[in-house]
Chains A and B, each alone.
Chain A
Amino acid sequence: MLNKLYTSEQTIKRRKIDYIILFAVSVLAVFGFFTVLSAVSGLSYGTDVVRTHIIALPVAAGAFLFGWLFNYQIYNEQYKTLYGLILALLAAVLVFGIVSRGSNSWFRLGFISLQPAEICRIATILIGSSFLIRNYQNIKEVKTLILFALLILPIFGLIMLQPDFSSIVVTAPALLLLLYAAGVNIFYFIVLLAFGLSAALFPILWTYISLHPEAVENSIFFYVIGQLSSNWLYIGGLCCLITVLGFFILYLLKQFRLYIAPFFVLAVCGVIMAGFFSGLFVNKQMKTYQRKRVEAFLAPDSDPKGAGYNVLQAQIAMGSGGVLGKGLFSGTQSRLGFVPERHTDFILAVLGEETGLLGTLFVLALYIILLWRTAYIATLSSDRYGYLVCCGIFGIFFVYMIFNFGMLIGIFPVAGIPLPFISYGGSNLVASMWAFGIVESVYRRRLTIN
């Protein structure tokens, strides 16, 4: 291995695979395997989990190989077929799928369950990238964005029907990052971001107000916002206010001889209102357990035995692991069941408890290495499509990383998002391996296509 690091530039140019990514995903998968093994020891269904994981590992390796060997440009050429295939798959799961844990998102084939949403996540990036390079000339126009949204909407709609909320939570921000990388007009990007944030923040704000009624009493601003979630009179008032405010700003700008197209002001007002109504929609759609998660995020100590219990116990597990950890298979928090969802969403807690700070930092470092390498390979890509696909995969794993780590360290609410490669979940592992196989495919073909 070592002497290969000192090989000549010529050899590097002819190299067909990026060893760093290969190394990182392999180590992560091995790490993940042992962590899952430890996490499920003692669980009644532990052997099933391990068996499935053992089957998934070679399949995932195959997916990696397939991604690497298969010319990624074929995805671009056949993006309509891919799109139809994905929609058909998502529709089929609604009809033929089985309901597990409240959502209808699994195919059952013999003794194996498949979760098509995991594959769709990568496919969405492939399709999105395809669309963007086809409209590259008009990338800065609003029309492209609207068409892009219309393209994605059916996929999201079918996923919401399952419903698989966490899948959207990962894919939507990843698509935003993809759009940013594709060079969307920064103004539109900010508008989109504002829309997304207000759709997410309004429900959080209302939950906050319901948790702290005393804050409302002391502030008219909070009072009005609190009332907005329920009172149509206030909603109408707000719409009028924003419109009036918009025209007033327009008038002021005119006075100072700053001519800005009225469209922009209208767009800002429209986005705020659209975000608000989306927030209203999300707020109404939120299930009790999801609201509890938001509450637990806003006030983790208020009810340590309630919804905040999960995060608290996960942090106790990680914190008690210390620097070196308690040793694999020796974590009391996980083994005795205090950490919930210990082999899926909260697997990092098991890892942290048993391998300590060294283990968590090592996994974090591998993730950073993967992101860095993916971004680097994007720049090596010989065509726009490869570049954008790498950016999208970068976006997905970036989102995974900050959401999963962020949930454990308490800077994001619990959203049921696993940590790819480490968490148990065959479909996720296969899809992740496929994704990095595609990145390797971009690397492999960096020189051959022009």
Chain B
Amino acid sequence: MKAKNFFDQSRLTHLLFLAYLAGAVIAFKLVDIQFISHSRYTKAAEKNRTQILYQTAPRGRILASGGELLAANQTAFSLYYLPAFEESSPDYIETYAEDVSNFLGSDKQAILKLLKKANKTGKAVALAQNISPKKAFSFAELQNYYTGLYLLEGTKRYYPYGAFASHLLGYMGTMDNKFWSLRGGSADYRLNSKIGKSGIEKRYEKELKGRDGGLLLEVDYMGRVKKKIKDNKWRAGSDIYTTINYEVQKAAEEGIENSITGRGAVVALNPKNGAVLAMVSAPDFDPNIFMPFSDEENKNAKKSISEYNLAIQGLYPPASTFKTITGIAGLETGRLDLKEETTCSGKIIMNNREFKCWGTHGEHIDFFKGMEQSCDVYFYELGLKVGASHIEKIQRMFRFGKQTGIDLPGEKSGNVYGPSKRAKNKTYWFGGDTLNLSIGQGELLLTPIQMAVFAATLANKGKIWRPYYIEKIVNANGKTVFEAKPDLLQSVELKEGVFDIISKALKRVVDNATGRGARVEGIEVHGKTGTAQNPHGDDHGWFMAFANRPGEEPDFAVAVFVEFGKGGGSAAAPIARKVIKAYYGIE
């Protein structure tokens, strides 16, 4: 077209060309952002608008055999901070942290750190967990002032009876590095998740845990919740039904607590199948101190507890209770004549060394008298007659020196004492060792649970059951996912009548002599005391027993150990009496 005006139109053509070029560059960049990089930006947009809050599933409950709740859950709230996307002034964050920490009663700097972290990463953080419902109620006030606060309902572990069976139940705590590296990847474990740290809580973590729920929220740039996009409900963990008899456990705990030292262990078993009816280890602890409400004042939270489970980890010489083994060895070899009598002058001389009896029992001491009085002289002589290797053999028949196989971590196996053991260690066996062995002193070591299994084996005439404490596990749908099957580890085959003689002797111990402290009217109690010499302090007291109603098979076996209790008859037997009475429901 011919120009009507007098301008150089090529200049305008340049500019138009420039505009086309700019348009092309812009179009290219738009295609890059909106088409090529679309998925990357979509992810970023989704990350902006959504926040995931996890809801810890209620842990499975732990119940006693009578249905008593030993570990349950309480409603507890978590306070989340949903970050704001626009940079807020440092002053605002300061006052935010101050007010929130005042409300929670927690450290301001820690809250400030969490707020800054959330603002930096854009991900919600839990400012506080385990807030009591009472405290959460007053929370609305704070929410009016500050955006981005969100209160989420959840549960926390709660132990209604406090320290009850604490060593068996265990306690909850934060994850260690090892656990995190194993399970951290799964959706159910996050950095602030609590896990079982000992006992049943640890051993059955997988069953108790359940599946955590998640709340997918849509939030705006200020961290205000707009709506719930998705609400994945949690699935509660499985309930664990234990074999623990609440009354027996309670009686045993009270017994140990009221003993002269308050330290010791009690293990009670059902001799018919090995079910653990009570397992006490003192000193104990209150597992609730690890899971307090955030606003609860907690004086005990010094968090150093005795995790040492004396019942399965404490090793002590069985002392006079071992005389039962020496007696069985005598009967089994035929070298024990029940009519033979001896005289106790309070000591015996061997190889120019004096071996003392704990008393002077005089003339006419036969096997039953020897058991009743726990006369050391009688058993020194019996031991010499039977021979140390036979006694060692009987120990091994009763699985001394082996773990009982209870499903708890850290069980000790004890120590067998005898000539072959010495030979294995390439040292010599002396005559004096035989004397020490026959009364259960020396290098022989047993755990309280081994003692209880021994008592149960005597009660059921030779069946060694593996002790177990889980009756069944029932999942959230009510389906039984595990049921205990009694596990017979070994049968002790002895000559006809040996168990009856031993039972008779043990009954006479309780009825007439050293075990009188364990007598219960109307119940046949069979038991043996033991006083373990302790070079470091007071002697330890043992009592092992089994019991039955008259005319019935024995259905209760118990081992009581009182650390520094001075004597088995004085310290341990009365506790056994309380426990037996509790089991049979005798006031």
Contact = CB atoms under 8 A, between A and B. Distances in A.
Interface residues of A, number: 58
B119 interface: yes
Interface string B297-309: 0000000000000
Interface stretch (A161-169, A265-273, A361-369): A361-369
Contacts of A364: 23, 26-27, 30
A309 B87 contact: yes
Nearest to B86: A309
Interface in A143-179: 177
A322 B9 CA distance: 40
A382 B6 CA distance: 10
A306 B220 CA distance: 18
A375 B15 contact: yes
Contacts of B41: 315-316, 318-320
Most B CB within 10 A of own CB, among A136, A384, A405: A405
Interface string B24-49: 01110111011101101110111011
Interface in B473-506: none
B39 to A, nearest CB: 9
A323 B26 contact: no
Given A323-B35, A382-B4, A401-B22, A305 B30 contact: no
A338 B48 CA distance: 8
Contacts of A183: 7-8, 11
A322 B7 contact: no
A181 B38 contact: no
Contacts of A337: 220-222
A181 B34 contact: no
Contacts of A188: none
Contacts of B23: 364, 367-368, 401
Contacts of A322: 34-35, 38, 42
Interface stretch (A24-32, A80-88, A352-360, A428-436): A352-360
B37 to A, nearest CB: 5
A394 interface: yes
B423 interface: no
Contacts of A309: 85-87
A306 B87 contact: yes
A406 interface: yes
A143 B266 CA distance: 111
Interface in A326-346: 332-333, 336-338, 340
B190 interface: no
A420 B334 CA distance: 115
A379 interface: yes
A446 to B, nearest CB: 8
B4 A381 contact: yes
Interface in B206-233: 218-222, 226
Nearest to B42: A320
A360 B220 CA distance: 25
A232 to B, nearest CB: 35
Contact of B12 (A313, A333, A384, A391): A391
A403 B7 CA distance: 28
Contacts of B350: none
B31 A336 contact: no
A317 interface: yes
B120 interface: yes
A321 B3 CA distance: 45
Contacts of A405: 26, 30
A236 B219 CA distance: 56
A384 B46 CA distance: 55
B5 A384 contact: yes
A395 B15 contact: yes
A405 to B, nearest CB: 5
Nearest to B7: A387
A23 interface: no
B16 interface: yes
A320 B7 contact: no
B1 interface: yes
B429 interface: no
B26 to A, nearest CB: 5
B85 A357 contact: no
A372 interface: yes
B19 interface: yes
Contacts of A368: 19-20, 23
Given A336-B221, A409-B30, A319 B12 contact: no
Contacts of A319: 33-34, 37-38, 40-42, 44-45
B7 A384 contact: yes
B35 A379 contact: no
A180 interface: yes
B52 to A, nearest CB: 16
A318 B31 CA distance: 10
A338 B221 contact: yes
B30 A360 contact: yes
Contacts of B220: 336-338
14 contacts: A313-B48, A316-B48, A319-B45, A336-B226, A338-B221, A356-B34, A368-B20, A368-B23, A372-B19, A401-B22, A401-B23, A406-B26, A409-B30, A409-B33
Which 4 A-B pairs have CB atoms at the shortest separation, nearest pair first? A319-B41, A320-B45, A337-B221, A409-B29
Given A315-B41, A394-B15, A410-B29, 6 more contacts: A306-B87, A322-B38, A352-B30, A375-B12, A380-B1, A402-B26
